[in-house]
Amino acid sequence: MTRLRGTLQRDVSMARYTTWRVGGPAARVYEPADADDLAVFLGSAEAVPPFFWLGLGSNLLVRDGGMNGSVIRLHRGLADIEDRGAGRVHAGAGVACAKLARWCARHGYAGSAFLAGIPGTLGGALAMNAGAWGGETWPHVEAVETVSEDGHRRMRPPEDFRVAYRSVEGPGNEWFVGATLVFTPGGEPAALQAEMRRLLGERARSQPTGMPSGGSVFRNPPGDHAARLIEAAGLKGSGIGGARVSEKHANFIVHDGSARAADIEALIERIRETVEQTYGVVLEPEVRIVGEPANAH
């Protein structure tokens, strides 16, 4: 059998790997050396299901009781970027979207600045059709590379997936390991970099970038904004335990250093119930909640 080249850790606190800085222990965390090593791992006895795919840990709440199975962390091993010419870029699923945006700007590939506003990796952006500043991921996808639960790798066209706002459905038991994206070549790198800095400055002024958070908590409902509804319902600044609705942007929940995952989850539910009772709008979480409650063990 081919030897594993990645790193396997056991009983790892997920607070280390999530942007909220909360969460119980994962039974095992594997960081593959590259896509080939990932395929070998999935076919090995060390790969214990269920599998959870982790990028930078944004838009993710891990409950205090932790996670069974195997967490596969892609940020280090699947972080390659390759220029394929004429605005085409192939990138691994572990590449940070902000890094990919900077790379595209340096190469004069226009239409990529929105990636800098996505606080995760390309794999996560593909999984949820992430977007920012009016741009979304999937309109730029030419092809994706996936791996199945048994380690088989495939190239798939966008037509194999049903894509909507913050929603992507595709073949079962396959996960993204990379994608080829298409942007507009011929841009002026200095101008593209300046535009990206401007947008990032706007984000820093309007979002709580200096405190642990999970990114946007709720999807925007049709024709409205989740932040407007949350603020109008009087929830801005309210909290449970060490978690509170950001004073800067109502669709963010920030962690003051003392929160448990249970506090954040309870605050998410309070927001949902209050907005529904007040306005009749059911907010759908953009955040993924995984793992077991603390009292499950």
Q: Does CATH place domain 7-73 in 3.30.43.10?
A: yes
Please determine, for residue 297, whether its predicted confidence score (pLDDT) is greater than 50. Answer: no
166 is an active site residue: yes
Catalytic residue among 153, 156, 166, 228: 166
Please determine, for residue 264, whether its predicted confidence score (pLDDT) is greater than 50. Answer: yes
CATH class, domain 81-203, is alpha beta
**42-62: per-residue pLDDT in tens?**
999 999 999 999 999 999 999
Q: Give the global pTM.
A: 0.90
Please compute the mean of the pLDDT values over residues 256-263 and round it to a whole number: 95
188 is an active site residue: no
Model confidence at 69, pLDDT cuts 50, 70, 90, reads very high
219 is an active site residue: no
**12-45: per-residue pLDDT in tens?**
999 999 999 999 999 999 999 999 999 999 999 9
Catalytic residue among 136, 145, 174, 286: 286
Output the CATH code of domain 226-292: 3.90.78.10
- Of 65-74, 75-84, 193-202, where does mean pLDDT reach its minimum? 193-202
Domain limits, the chain: 7-73, 81-203, 226-292
Would you state the pLDDT for residue 203? 84
Please compute the mean of the pLDDT values over residues 147-153 and round it to a whole number: 91
Would you state the pLDDT for residue 119? 86
Would you state the pLDDT for residue 199? 87
Catalytic residue among 58, 112, 213, 216: 216
Would you state the pLDDT for residue 261? 97
Which residues, 6 or more positions from 30, have their beta carbon under 8 angstroms from its beta carbon?
6, 7, 8, 9, 41, 46, 47, 70, 71, 72, 73
Distance CA 120, CA 221 (A): 22
**209-218: per-residue pLDDT in tens?**
888 999 999 9
Please determine, for residue 266, whether its predicted confidence score (pLDDT) is greater than 50. Answer: yes
